Structure 1
């Protein structure tokens, strides 16, 4: 039988499914019209992964609700999250859950809908939208079923009480993620693409290459084109208003591997190149301002791309990337000669306490060999007072934190030209 366990700051994403309401008798007898109401799950991608942070009940059509009469105890929110693919006997999946979500506030949005704010935080179990299957090393979008129970009637401004007979779950809304469109290359590699709001003239392109856990699991016919955006803020960081201002409006493309980049980087490189070529052809991309950034597996792949295409990129930012062999004593994934031949401006990032990809034989070794490369080496990964695993140094790049002589990494990238 599958074992369900939790872990701190799990990379957790899911789409909504239908959910019903078990209405307490006391509320059902409170009077007023019985109504059907749809609700939407509102999510945000934290540094440790996406979480459902609130629920919006489409109550505006019921009438003008009195906001002063809303209380946190008026509704109960129950959440159940399960894997979309079977879990093998004895395997482990992190972040499945079946629990009540604490309601921290109840308010009206500008449309007159009731919004139930939910308790959430970095590392908090019970709100994530992704689950991590241990044997596969993959994040999968959890199937989310939310059940809303009304404990007392809504009160309208005219004093009438309204009781809802059934709540029906709608979709998952995350504006940052939803801003990325969907694409599939001719070779079959899926990707997400963000387009800048200001598109006068040619704009730069940032290529984000995800970590190992965000690829597909095709033996299970699972290829979601979602996890590379929802597992962390790597790609999303470059679509924020701050980043867009620094780059003068940038396209951001996030391909998703059919497995994991380190499985066969030389095979994946032409597929990524095909996506870049297609985006450049269809959009107003400046071919002299294409930047590649990646974390962990993607950190390796960002270096592999500059080896395979030395004239393509204006800059490369490999984060906790891998260059040493996956097998003890095996050949390096990127040879010393290949590293020494990289002439793409490169800024490497890692944390000394990374116990997943040791920095000395990987990031530091690459820095020693790549001519003119820069290095930001942190002691720990801490943001907003929360300490993350040392491997998660991509958090710093997603927040434009690495700096050399007062110049931060996004500004440095934006200055580079191929």
Structure 2
């Protein structure tokens, strides 16, 4: 998988002298066999930013220093205090700053742990907090991927097993890497709709497809259509690619399109038709089981999922709609009606919502739609809490991403989805 970006700056460390020169037999690069043709240069070392999408969004949780060519690092000798890490996040090109600076944050990141990996690199774990994120939520109501500049300084030498000590003079930033996000390939439909696609490891025979429709905060803006936020802002799409989900579905394709603006413009922009085109294009290219195409969405994407299934009522095997923005507290206008919702009657449907949602009233959206569909399922939570963290009530998509909702007989939502099949016309 190609990396998503390469930093253009060199991150300079506090320059400290090399205490003792390394022997000429230093290991070569990856798989180099230690022939000594490319001895380790302590002057400049590259590093990667290690991203992890948490329930509240992606953070840089560690940085990995490319020290695999440095032989015999004594892990016990490397203390977190030996390094300082500074992070600067800037708005990407095309985003109006609203002020004189594009800098969102400029902070020192706290190093909490140091690990020498099996490959010989050094990984610095970083504390969560201000400046840890990779996205910025704009006043326009959109998340954008920031341009990140990290500076690392080594303040104490690294000790080798042979007793020698090394201090790196400069660290050069490389890529932002997030294995879960990077597993999604990039694509664009003939209509210009961008998407990210995950292919299952086991592809023999036809496999199901899960279509994930993001919320309003993950749409694009004029001049900023990155095809990133729908994967990095939450675990809605990523949940379906976990080992547990893939086992339950027997290997599933997962596609996460990004709307250029907002799903609320579906009528004017023809997004229902564009999503159907996306599914059709993928079906022509990949071994997708046409009887097992599922759609799930959250907030504005929850509404869009309803509208999509209503427009194509014989296409989808199941629908999971989380906190669907059928109506909002700030705008009580209904964005759909009973007639449109009734078209879901032949599609197995599950609504998920939290009662403390301050954005979308649960009783006038999920409950209202559920009452119109007697065979549908609904799971209501009092609040959104996971792993001892409390989140805004609107974030009930966390429960879907964690496969938490269950039927009365104990069937999880992913298992339930996997059991649904669309019979032919």
Q: Shared fold by TM > 0.5? A: yes
SS of the residue 1:245 aligns to? helix
Paired residue for 1:36? 44
Check if 1:249 corresponds to 2:242. Answer: no
The residue that corresponds to 1:53 in the other structure is 61
Within a 5 Å distance, the mapping from 1:11-410 to structure 2 comes to 15=5, 17-24=7-14, 27-28=16-17, 30-32=19-21, 34-85=42-93, 86-89=95-98, 96-120=104-128, 124-134=129-139, 136-218=140-222, 221-265=223-267, 267-324=270-327, 328=331, 330=333, 332-343=334-345, 344-405=347-408, 406-410=410-414
Alignment deviations for residues 90-148 of structure 1 (CA, whole Å, 9 cap, x no partner): 6999x92111111011121111111111112xxx32210000111x2110001100001
Deviation at 1:63, TM superposition (A): 2.4
Listed as ranges, the gaps of 5+ residues in structure 2 are 23-41
Q: Distance in 2 between matches of 1:184 and 1:29?
A: 49
Indicate conservation of the 8 Å contact 2:48/2:176, yes or no. yes
Q: What is aligned with 2:27?
A: none
Cα deviation, 1:293-336, whole Å, max 9, x if unaligned, reads 00000000110011100000000001000223798574x32111
Structure 2 equivalent of residue 3 of structure 1: none
- Structure 1's consecutive aligned runs of 4 or more residues displaced over 6 angstroms after TM superposition are 90-93
Q: Show CA shifts across 1:3-48 (max 9, x none).
A: xxxxxxxxxxx955244444446x3364446421110011100000
Asked whether the equivalents of residues 15 and 144 of structure 1 are also in contact (C-alpha less than 8 Å), the reply is no
Counterpart position of 2:38:
none
Q: Distance in 2 between matches of 1:91 and 1:153?
A: 40
**Residues 80, 146 of structure 1: 8 Å contact kept:** yes
Distance 2:327 2:11 in 1: 54
Distance verdict in 2 for CA 1:23–1:183, change over 3 Å: closer
Alpha-carbon distance in 1 for matches of 2:257, 2:100 = 28
Give yes or no for contact 2:5–2:175 (8 Å, CA) kept in 1. Answer: yes
**Structure 1 equivalent of residue 416 of structure 2:** 412
Distance 2:112 2:106 in 1: 19
- Match of residue 5 from structure 1: none
Between 1:138-147 and 1:58-67, the stretch displaced more is 58-67
Three-state SS of the structure 2 residue aligned to 1:60 is coil
- Partner SS state of residue 96, structure 1: strand
What SS is found at the alignment partner of 1:403?
A: coil
Once superposed, what is the RMSD of the aligned Cα atoms? Answer: 2.0
Cα distance in 2 between the residues matched to 1:18 and 1:71: 29
Whether the 8 Å CA contact 2:91–2:97 is kept in 1: the answer is no
Question: 140-149 vs 14-23, which deviates more?
Answer: 14-23
Contact kept in structure 2, 1:75 and 1:148, CA below 8 Å: yes
For residues 262 and 315 of structure 1, do their structure 2 counterparts lie closer, same or farther at Cα, with a shift above 3 Å needed? same
Distance 1:73 1:197 in 2: 41
What is the rounded CA distance, in whole Å, between the counterparts of 2:109 and 2:67 in structure 1? 20
2: CA distance, partners of 1:327 / 1:162 = 59
1:345–1:65 Cα change, 3 Å: same
Distance 1:23 1:283, change over 3 A: closer
TM-score normalised to the size of structure 2?
0.89
Partner secondary structure for residue 417 of structure 2 = helix
